Amino acid sequence: MQPLPQTGRRRVVIENVTPQVDGGRFAAKRVVGDMVVVQADVFADGHDEVRARLSWRHRNDASWHESEMEPLGNDRWQATFPVGDVGRYEFSVSGWVDHWRTWVHDLKKRVDAGQDVTVDLQIGARIVGTAASRATDADHASVLKQASGQLTTRAALDPGLSLLIDAYPDLTEATSLNAPLAVVVDPVRARFSAWYELFPRSASPDPKRHGTFDDVINQLDYVAGLGFDVLYLPPISPIGRQFRKGPDNREGGTAADPGVPWAIGGSTGGHTAVHAQLGDLGGFDRLVHAARTRGIEVALDIAFQASPDHPWVTEHPEWFRMRPDGTVQYAENPPKKYQDIYPFDFESTDWRGLWQALNEVFRFWIGHGVSIFRVDNPHTKPFAFWEWCINDIKASHPQALFLAEAFTRPKVMYRLAKVGFSQSYTYFTWRNNAVEMREYLEELTRPPVSDFFRPNFWPNTPDILHADLQTGGPAAFEARLVLAATLSSSYGIYGPAYELGESTAREPGSEEYLNSEKYQQRTWDLSGGARLRGLITRVNRARHAHPALQANERLLFHATDNPNLLAYSKNTDDQRDVILTVVNFDYHATQSGSIELDLAALGLPDDAPFEAVDLLDDQTYAWNGLRAWVKLDPEVRAGHVLWLRHLP
């Protein structure tokens, strides 16, 4: 015989609780100011009335908050709770059979049928009496005790009595989740941000002089003027000299070549040291402060690898993989060889020491005012390391954010998000027609993916110059910018290559830039690129002015009769801010077509005119009804970003 359960009187079932990630194995993600919507299936056998309750707290809270869940129909229940602080929250759902509500429901039917309810009132009085014994308020206990002693049909059906009994439910046999579910709450910038990538060594106006932190400070007004709020810097550590690469990744570079910033470490230090030609830590601290006064946060690239000159190579040889010939295994992606970079061996016998040392790298830069990190190739390091490291850091620095640079398989990217990464690079760059883009965004912006994965869209990076940008001309740069900045609430560009329309590949079929900044210092003439710079500025201005563009949850696609056109909208929960974007994927020819608008979803009238104001050029269009016609000439504009508003 099977052993009996600890209690056979617990009849309520709780299923399909949302949000939860992998059955509660990982935390869902939200940002400060969100209302977390919790839903669950809560039901019991038979026909008894069921109630459900949501409990929640910030992990630092001593006590739980509670609220009644409301039925949505078909045994689905919902309640919400606010998250006002960064950090980790936890919540639970409980459900129980409510004998009083069940009794009242049955009493009404018996009274309506004209039945004798004398015995039923005695049963009800007993239920009221037990509620009186649970009451913590003396006045309430007195009222309930009095009601139980002389319960009449009229008193039993008084809603006031039910409200009082509801306040003191019998939870003896309530069902609760086996363990609370978690929600990690990040700063708003985790969901809404605009990144600008800049190589500090190229910030010098003099091509003969290496750029410095002070040169970057001098460019902050330019970056702020474009409307970006995150300045992302590639690694600023010393660069190794052994096997240093020359221009365009040429082997056999000389000491005159600046080297690759990702070949980290030299005689002056490793991951917590500063490249001497950039300045010193004091200069970096000035940069962080100067950026923050302009509303910009500095994001730092963290690449967990080492040059052959990194101090750890000699101090901790056990952290690297040795080859049979006694040399250290360098990075490879055959046929490519990266002799200037040594990967860490995460299967090292001293893996604990390695983990702790890498954790301290983050903590060092947090101590210098950095709270945002772009992590290079995290998918080549163990998931277990990231889960421990990120959770450990966020326990004491919950404001810290981590962007995963992981252009790899979908399940790997998603796992990195689950173990703690705040944002991730995506496949946006390689979604190059309207159908592909729509399918991809509907995956990213819907649960369950949206509960843990926050996309950050980049039309280009120092590693990626997509074929569309190589051949599409200015219209491709404009269209991809509009798509990135309006489809995703977080996006970034590698500039000034982007605003200047840099489009020459190293060789045919390559996504590598010719004369890439990864291998040499560049001096950019920022007097050019006025049209694209103006578009970037207006797009970022629209993003800051319109809350609809600051989240992804309410992204909605609208049908068009032209496959070259992608039409989509975002709006706020109250539908007071509605933005419709239309982009032409044909960068060489004019495309026009009709858009079928879902007016109900947009909160717009179906029988009255409304305005569409283009936030990119201030032109206003008068529209009426569910169909709108657009025409996009890539010589004039690659897309519309339209603010839809009611006419007075």
CB atoms within 10 A of CB 226: 20
* Secondary-structure percent of the chain, ordered helix, strand, coil, rounded to 5: 30, 25, 40
| 3-state SS assignment for residue 16 | strand
Give residue 478's pLDDT: 98
Structure confidence by residue, pLDDT tens digits, 188-227 = 999 999 999 999 999 999 999 999 999 999 999 999 999 9
Residues 76 and 41: beta-carbon distance below 8 Å = yes
pLDDT tens for 507-555 read 999 999 999 999 999 999 988 899 999 999 999 999 999 999 999 999 9
The one catalytic residue among 309, 405, 468, 586:
405
**Main-chain phi, psi angles of 223, to 5 degrees:** -65, -45
> Nearest-5° angle of CA 162, CA 168, CA 173?
110
Whether 376 is catalytic is yes
Residue 194 buriedness (CB in 10 A; 0-12 / 13-18 / 19+): buried
**Cα 94-95-101 angle, rounded to 5 deg:** 145
**pTM of the predicted protein model:** 0.95
Give the length of the chain: 648
Q: Which residues of 424-459 are buried (b: 16+ CB within 10 A; e: fewer)?
A: bbbebbebeebeebbebbeebbeeebbbbbbbbbbb
Q: What pLDDT was estimated at residue 255? A: 81
Q: Which domains does the chain have, with CATH numbers?
A: 1-96+179-186 (2.60.40.10), 99-168 (1.20.58.80), 188-550 (3.20.20.80), 556-646 (2.60.40.1180)
Rounded CA-CA distance 642/61 in Å is: 44
pLDDT, residue 251, reads 87
User: What is the model's pLDDT at position 333?
Assistant: 82
| pLDDT of the residue at 6 | 81
Which residue in the list 257, 376, 468, 478 is annotated as catalytic? 376
* 121 within 8 A of 156, measured Cβ to Cβ: yes
Residue 253: what pLDDT? 83
What torsion do the CA atoms of 403, 407, 412, 417 make, to the nearest 10 degrees? 20
The whole-number pLDDT of residue 337 equals: 83
Q: What is the DSSP string of 257-270?
A: S---TTSB-BTTBS
Which phi and psi angles does 550 have, rounded to 5°? -100, 10
- For 26, what's the count of Cα atoms within 13 Å in the CB-facing half-sphere? 24
Contact between residue 595 and residue 630 where contact means Cβ atoms under 8 Å apart: yes
- Residues in the chain, pLDDT under 50: none
pLDDT computed for residue 7 by the predictor: 83
Structure confidence at residue 465 (pLDDT): 98
